[in-house]
Structure 1
Amino acid sequence: AQYLFGQGSTFESHFLDATQLIPEALCALGATNLVSKQDSTESMAHFELSHEIMLEYGDYLCSEVGGLDELVDDANMRWNQAFVEVVYLERKRACIWDGKEYDSTRDYALDRIIVHMLRGNMLKEAAALLKDERFVRGRLLSFGWEEGTKKHVRDCEAVVSKVKEQGSKARLDPSALMGRAYERIASVLREEEKKGDSDARPWSPYEAGLAFQETAFSLTEMGLWKQAISHFEVSSEMLL
């Protein structure tokens, strides 16, 4: 382009024509709208974007037809990996998953970090964290015995589903993953039962019984009958 400009060619005039045609084409498509305003001293014109059409076009580009779906998926995976690296590794190093002081960042991580790991295709890291006793305790203390268990069960089932989807490539045993993750829940609940009421979370046999019920149903769906029966028995003892 610089060479053509230097040679005094018609490139510059064609370029100017193109810059005028582009907004006209966008107006014809309805993506922009030329708005003119005039007062007593001067007249002004500017383009307004149609956000709805731009959004629709963005959705189109992100679809398989638009051709950018792989790029978007890759960007999404990398962003989630970066997020996890910053949040998870920092927490792991500091060992404060079950800290007593209020921390909104930690609460978000306890709730959603596994989801980000799944989006980042970090199955091994997710499996390891689901079996981390301090992470499990942090969840139960932050969200309650029953609600914290529900979150853990939800994430375990999501990771197991992803592992099954990837098959041998994931290099993880879904049954062992779920069994050990739920063993951690049982272990934490039994420890907290011995402690009784604490500043962090009052002990509730009823909630704990419902928590064991959640893991028992999940184990049943997985076909881990022996462990499921054990969890059902503990649940019955606490609820009766």
Structure 2
Amino acid sequence: MQELKPSKKKRRRVGHHIVRAWFDTVINPLLESFEQNQKLLIEKRWTWRFRPGYLEALQPARSYVEEEAWPNLEQFTDLYPNIRNKIKEHDGKVSVLQDTCGRLFKTVSASQELADLYRRVTSPQALSELGVSLQHLFGAFTEPDHIAILSEYVVNNTGFLPSYYATSPLWNKHRGEFLAILDKPSIQGEFRKVLEAGEALAELMPRLICELKDVRSDLSLQHDVPPYAASAAKSGEPLTA
């Protein structure tokens, strides 16, 4: 694709050592993270964390590159403005998704629907049926934190939890009831905004991944540099071409 190539003047300045560094510190880390995130987006697993209040996995592109390699990222995107623009678009959509998840979390955690459900499923009788205590489920956390943890699960469309999660007996039994809160009139508006933001980011990911792979393929063939130097990476030897 012609639009993915830098100008001829700039292209002459790029040698195989630079290409190798781009592959190992920028392009491959970005592709690995973007492909993992694409799966999360398809499954609507936003990875929201109420403390400190951000998306754990879905983050701006720079966070997937080691800090010492940020100059490599800047160099690469300067020479490939189409990629730079796509990354900027990605980061903007991540920000929107994070903001909408934050608003949904606040709405869910403050809702009467969740408060009522929490009181019902943690009543002495309900806990007796589960065979657990409130302390077993939540440890030393206070009730506001109990609500926050459950709200986080709701926002993230959390599936059935493995048994090593202390909250798994409660969540797994009542998961359907907790997630049904998202359809309540007082909450569904914010939930819809999260879905729209997630879909917008999910639609961008394949295009961004495809363009990065196209650039990597072009550079690999132009400079006789393999996209991934597996043997050198395993041996710990310098990755030189």
TM bucket normalised to smaller: under 0.3
Q: TM-score, normalised by structure 1?
A: 0.24
> Taking CA–CA contacts closer than 8 Å with sequence separation of 6 or more, which of the two structures ends up with the larger relative contact order?
2
Q: TM-score, normalised by structure 2?
A: 0.24
Structure showing greater radius of gyration is 1
